[in-house]
Structure 1
């Protein structure tokens, strides 16, 4: 099989994800394979066999008649799945150890932040007020993780080792040592009713859009030491009904929220999330993994594919992840 060229289409990245940095990394790891950073008037679309993309415009990938594989440079593939002109070739999602470790760091950090009452303590510091309060053990808190793929499973194990009671919910049945696993629509109520801190790492699909809404929050445990349930969403912005989150924070249905993703990004300056006293806000960097690791991952996959091997982490179009 001839070595086809790779097209690099990266839009809307941070400095760490700048197109120039991606181009340098792919040039290094792809050997003598041609790497085109698009748009480029000199590129012949027929030469492109592979595309490494982040937030491509709808219809952009349809320009390559000989495309064989699409590699999405981030974990979420919902934007690509919504493109009706997407070529019918394998779509591969990123699953590298670096990304998984960074997400686990984020989840553990924010669970501990709420568990150890950090927002309250920082408010006391600002007010120069010495007002210690009782602190419960990790074992008194139940953390429920929605989404038990690679990211959710790793975060669940890390939290379990810290002593939290950990449960998980997924669309299909999963088994994780030491974690009580629930699945499907018939078991979600039991999962929610036992959850004090809800961590959402679900993919965004038609079934999960706006799943984080008032009806779901109202079913969370009301009797934990936290006083009210806590939401941590590091999945996708489309998973959350943002009006419901704000209303539930205001009326006490939710006690606090850590949010890394939003319906509109960058988050508009007039969003109440910026200033809400019960919100811990981060700029979609929970698992902002390094181009070094992802470029090597893509290059290895291409070499194995051209040698007749199977691609890893191929998205199932029927499930959307």
Structure 2
């Protein structure tokens, strides 16, 4: 029996986490680490990437399939000299569930005024705040891929009025959806805006002052809330800060940023109506990543089509 084709790993996870995940994975295959600059990668046929080293494709010229280490692929598509190879997105129930949990948590936090109660706790203030019911608020989700569709269903279960937007029309049972032509109507009905968009030329910087100004004012929370767990490049952080300062936005929850990690000098850190998390809304489970990839490698080697392929023209 011939030796199975080897794989190369260029992921930015902690080395000990990768080592644990590799135990029992890729049986019969040589696993190479791109971080080992002395390693000969010429025999590698499969690569796992997040923000790959610029010399990876020179060192591994015989790759056949690339696997994304996360839900987004913009960092891979932006690599100079990216070879024309199939790219498989990481699609997994654990990733989807974690993202939806984070989105629901943030919507409920703003619904129940958690940031305001944290301010009161810090000042030892005892005062009951008015809190609407979920059904009084419309949550608008921008991005209706696998993550977005799961999020809208779970938000619906929590009692929110939920609508969805995507550049091209999508149909989801029980959810009113809008396409590019209906963006203004979508925004005008939205009290809590959730961003789950991929990063493409069309979505870069889409969450800006103009968009925030079109959200519904005077809803059950008074002012709209912005929540983003999609891609940092889709938001203009200076416009978020300005909208919060001017009262165009009443609060925000952000998991992604234009530059990561978020600079210590960013005014977002000090805004008490903002909840920040460190790109952790849907942290990739490395074991699940490797298990999913093994299935795709088996399909590839048996001549079956790969699943969850990235459309390089659309950017996701």
Matched, 1:85 2:86: no
1:295–1:254 Cα change, 3 Å? same
State the Cα RMSD in Å. 1.5
1:113–1:310 Cα change, 3 Å? same
CA distance in 2, matches of 1:171, 1:63: 38
Matched, 1:308 2:303: yes
SS in 1 for 2:42: helix
- Which residue in 2 is equivalent to 1:319? 314
CA contact (8 A) 1:145 1:168 kept: yes
1:121–1:307 Cα change, 3 Å? same
Q: CA deviation at 1:173?
A: 1.2
Matched, 1:264 2:259: yes
Matched, 1:74 2:67: no
Worse-superposed segment, 200-209 or 49-58: 49-58
Aligned residues: 315
Matched, 1:117 2:113: yes
Matched, 1:191 2:176: no
SS in 2 for 1:187: helix
SS in 1 for 2:106: helix
Q: CA deviation at 1:182?
A: 0.6
1:216-235 matched pairs, under 5 angstroms: 216-235=211-230
Q: CA deviation at 1:10?
A: 1.8
TM-score (norm 2): 0.96
CA contact (8 A) 1:108 1:159 kept: yes
Deviation sequence 1:69-101 (CA, Å, 0-9, x none): 000111111111112311111011111000000
1:41–1:278 Cα change, 3 Å? closer
Matched, 1:47 2:43: yes
- Which residue in 2 is equivalent to 1:3? 4
1:132-171 matched pairs, under 5 angstroms: 132-171=128-167
Is there any run of 5+ residues in structure 2 with no aligned partner, and where?
Answer: none
CA contact (8 A) 1:27 1:35 kept: no
SS in 1 for 2:131: coil
CA distance in 2, matches of 1:176, 1:290: 28
CA distance in 2, matches of 1:172, 1:62: 37
